[in-house]
Structure 1
Amino acid sequence: MSSLLLLASLLACGGSEAPKPDVKPAEPPKAAEPPPAPTPPPAAPAASGPYTPDELASAAYEKAKAAGADATPNPKSGDAAAIAAGKAQWSKCATCHGETGAGDGIAGGALPQKPAQFTWNERWDATTVGVKHWIILNGIQGTSMAPLGLTDDQAWEVLAFIEADFHKK
């Protein structure tokens, strides 16, 4: 019986507990938001772009002439050692212009403008050697023909190789 009295006393004391603070149940964590999508690279210029390939090539020709390149002859033309050295450098060019200079390199098909081919090309025939050298060194702005970091001699050697192996008359 004393146990019952003890139990009744304890139950009566239950109302004297300190009040509990008003605590809201924790909200489940929010799922992390996905990171923003990466910004796509800028689109390649359209094949016709604001300027045609002929207009861009003509602008490069005029820049080369203004730089005094028009009348410069190739000092390496016909030199067997220079032709061999130019062939070694050609790998930098072949990706776009093709192994045989036909403008059919593996990267060329993805370019907005077809790379020049050197087996037959009226523009090539009409362009002076000095301007060709200038373009090899400086590229053609607005096209995929970029300067490749060749030295002056290496550019002459590549030109000697193109003349000897691809542009035979």
Structure 2
Amino acid sequence: MKKYNFYTLLLFCAVSVIVLSASRNYQSLKYKRTDSKFLQDTVKQVAWLAPASADSLKNPLTVSQESISKGEELYNMYCFSCHGDTGYGDGPAGGSMGIRPANFHDQRVIKQKDGALFWKLTNGKGNMPPFKEALTEEQRWQLIVFLRELGKTE
């Protein structure tokens, strides 16, 4: 009977050591994920650059109330859920993506040429879907017109 208790106690101790060891590893992993440096790394975004050839693309549309209005309709249909009502990248769906969607008021976006924005809108990357199949070329240019107007407002 004593032999049985000894082995039971030994088995219990071995299992406890394994559980505590796994628990400690889990805790350290958990700590690393909430560590401020880790969070900074997840928020840090790598610049998304269009190819240089995209800069040569010119918007064939003139800025008019009609092109702005059509671009706004498209924005509200396809873009606002991620980029937000006012284009700050704070839409309800955008926050859950890990990488924050573009802020159209940011100078890094404003300084990009229309062709670069058109290329990005057409091809997409990561969580940003490509719109070459969903939108016509004219609709994509209308969106660019609206994004430019949106970026002018505070």
Whether 1:54 and 2:46 are equivalent positions in the alignment is yes
In 2, the alpha carbon distance for the partners of 1:114 and 1:137 equals: 19
Name the Cα RMSD after superposition. 2.2
In 2, the alpha carbon distance for the partners of 1:77 and 1:53 equals: 33
5 Å matches for 1:15-164?
53-55=45-47, 57-58=48-49, 61-62=50-51, 65=52, 68-90=53-75, 91-118=77-104, 120-140=105-125, 143-148=126-131, 149-164=134-149
TM-score (norm 2): 0.64
For the 8 Å contact 2:88–2:103, the answer to whether it is kept is yes
In 2, the alpha carbon distance for the partners of 1:75 and 1:81 equals: 14
Q: Paired residues, what number?
A: 111
In 1, the alpha carbon distance for the partners of 2:41 and 2:71 equals: 32
Note the residue ranges of structure 2 that are not aligned, 5 or more in a row: 1-38
In 2, the alpha carbon distance for the partners of 1:81 and 1:96 equals: 24
Based on CA coordinates, which of the two structures has the bigger radius of gyration?
A: 1
1:35-82, Cα deviation, whole Å (9 max, x unpaired): xxxxxxxxxxx9957xx6324x03xx12xx2xx321222222412211
Identity %: 31
Q: Which runs of 4+ in 1 moved over 4 A?
A: 46-49
Note the residue ranges of structure 1 that are not aligned, 5 or more in a row: 1-45
1:106-144, Cα deviation, whole Å (9 max, x unpaired): 1011001000011x212213311111111111112xx21
TM-score (norm 1): 0.59
